[in-house]
Amino acid sequence: MSDNQHLEHMEHDRGTWGSNFGFLMAAVGSAVGLGNIWGFPYKMGNKGGFAFLIIYLLLVIFVGVVVMLGELTIGRKTGKGAVGAYAALSKKYKWVGYLGILSAFTLLAFYNVLGGLVMRYMFGFLLQILGVDGFSGAGMGFFGYILYDYSGMIFFHVLFIVCNVVIVMGGIQGGIEKFCTVAMPALFFMLLFVIIYVAFQPGAGEGYKFMLTPNFEPLSSFGGFIDVLKTAAGQMFFSLSLGMGAIISYGSYLDKKEDLQKNALIIPACDTLIAVMAACAILPACAAFNMEYAQGPGLLFNTMQNVFLSMGSFGNFVGFMFYFLVFIAAVTSSISLFEAIVTWRLDVGIEKKQKVSRTKIMSIAAVCSFIVGIPVALDALGAADAVVKAPYLLLGMTPEQLAAGQVPMAIDCWLDFFDVISEGIFMPLGALIMAVLIGWKWKTRNLIVPECEISGHKFWGYTFFDICFKFITPIGMILVLGGQIYDFFIKALIA
């Protein structure tokens, strides 16, 4: 076999996307996740409504699209996942790739547990439709019940991971692409259905008002403006799956004839559309049934469940559909996190000319992610009487200090701990380093432009992208990083 044939053979082993549409569905699937459904609606409502939306959109354009293009280009140019890609561009920066792998595990630690909970609620509403009590007699108080049902928590944690294993084992085209091509359009139509149904509930109007009334008050002071800016930036980052290498992996399977710049626009556009649609379903539903616009897990598992249970018998059906679409959003995101890990090990095997089995790698990744997720599943969101103690309790702080707001968010429960180190530190850091390397070391002109033009498309907006890589993204990331470290670690200590 000539060298060339050998190379081709190896590339074939890695797999490629079957079509650009399939790639887009997978990438949009990675982006659209729990972040869109529980983060965006609440933050938008709370941080100025329409004003928040404008700032969010500006950030998507000036930072999101740019970092997206950077990750896609690095992936496709090197044909490798995050670790291999940074190593191929410069041996010295291989560790940036490892930072991405670390983020993947910290994200999975809580994402899998939440995905499992979503499945539990989905089955609950399915049983309700069949006329069986799906919520173990706890009905509207189910969230408080399930958190202490440890075997249930572990069972659904495992079940969600198994779904991931089945999809990722199928490979790029036969697993991830096939699943996302069906699941993402299905998600869109189910969400549309829920929006329309909610719109006809009396009292829904208050929700739209809460969401859309331009309230510039949060922006009236400099401190307020920075607060909105960093909330929107953190949200944008998490929502677009940037800063840890998932998009680098997906880009590495992309054909050279595809237009990278176009893809870097479409993915953020779809993600933002779904986030706004989710807000249009959730906030009016809360308003119509007089539920609070809670934050985080409470919104998804307490408030929304109670909204559907208050709707009467048809509510069971809408509830099932809602949790089913949230399940799709979650699983299409978690498979991209697993794929970032799998691609890394596949590349190592290919480089060492070893026989590598995707199934074996994925199984090991699944077990590891299960283990790191155990404390998240068993600490009852930081309750003092749970079997697994939350980090603040282990560190000797008390529930009284927690109630007084003196416990930093980073340690109030294991979910927040993993969320904060990934979303608050690793991911903005990853994006900061990438933008600086592209802007100042590898250069937009030498790295990005030639790879984008391979497809035969002329590169547009050079000055814009170059300025964003060099200045706007790094400055934005430093603001986010500083803001998050203050919010998540320091604020409570000086309170």
Q: 34, 118, 386, 437: which one contacts ligand TRP (CB under 6 A)?
A: 34
Q: Closer to ligand TRP at the Cβ: 114 or 413?
A: 114
- Tell me how many residues contact ligand TRP (CB under 6 A): 15
Q: Which residues have CB under 8 Å from 141's CB, separation 6+?
A: none
CB 416 within 8 A of CB 107: no
325 binds ligand TRP (CB under 6 A): no
Stretch that binds ligand TRP, among 143-151, 236-244, 316-324, 472-480 (CB under 6 A): 236-244
Q: Which two tokens stand for residue 10?
A: 């190896």
420 binds ligand TRP (CB under 6 A): no
Per CB under 6 A, contacts with ligand TRP among 443-482 are: none
Q: Which residues have CB under 8 Å from 215's CB, separation 6+?
A: 48, 49, 50, 51
CB 431 within 8 A of CB 237: yes
Min separation Cβ 75 and ligand TRP, Å: 13
Give how far the C-alpha of residue 280 lies from the chain's centroid of Cα atoms, to the nearest Å: 20
CA atoms within 13 A on the CB side of 275: 32
75 binds ligand TRP (CB under 6 A): no
Q: Closer to ligand TRP at the Cβ: 42 or 197?
A: 42
Q: Is 239 exposed, middle or buried (0-12, 13-18, 19+ CB in 10 A)?
A: buried
Q: 29, 35, 134, 483: which one contacts ligand TRP (CB under 6 A)?
A: 35
Q: 22, 26, 28, 30: which one contacts ligand TRP (CB under 6 A)?
A: 30
Min separation Cβ 451 and ligand TRP, Å: 22
369 binds ligand TRP (CB under 6 A): no
Min separation Cβ 241 and ligand TRP, Å: 4
106 binds ligand TRP (CB under 6 A): no
Angstrom CA distances, 179 to 172, 336, 386, stand at 10, 12, 37
Angstrom CA distances, 279 to 31, 151, 286, 389, stand at 16, 33, 10, 34
Q: Closer to ligand TRP at the Cβ: 340 or 381?
A: 340
Min separation Cβ 33 and ligand TRP, Å: 2
> What mask, x for binding ligand TRP by CB under 6 A, covers residues 329 to 358?
----x--xx---------------------
181 binds ligand TRP (CB under 6 A): no
33 binds ligand TRP (CB under 6 A): yes
Min separation Cβ 336 and ligand TRP, Å: 4
Q: 25, 26, 27, 31: which one contacts ligand TRP (CB under 6 A)?
A: 31
The maximal CA–CA distance of the chain, rounded, in angstroms, is: 71
Length of the chain: 495
115 binds ligand TRP (CB under 6 A): no
Q: Which residues have CB under 8 Å from 103's CB, separation 6+?
A: 243, 244, 245, 422, 426, 427, 430
- Please state the φ and ψ torsions of residue 267, each to the nearest 5 degrees: -60, -55
63 binds ligand TRP (CB under 6 A): no
Q: How far apart are CA 410 and CA 216, in angstroms?
A: 29
Q: How far apart are CA 285 and CA 389, in angstroms?
A: 34
Min separation Cβ 146 and ligand TRP, Å: 21
219 binds ligand TRP (CB under 6 A): no
Q: Which residues bind ligand TRP (CB under 6 A)?
A: 30-31, 33-36, 107, 238-239, 241, 244, 246, 333, 336-337
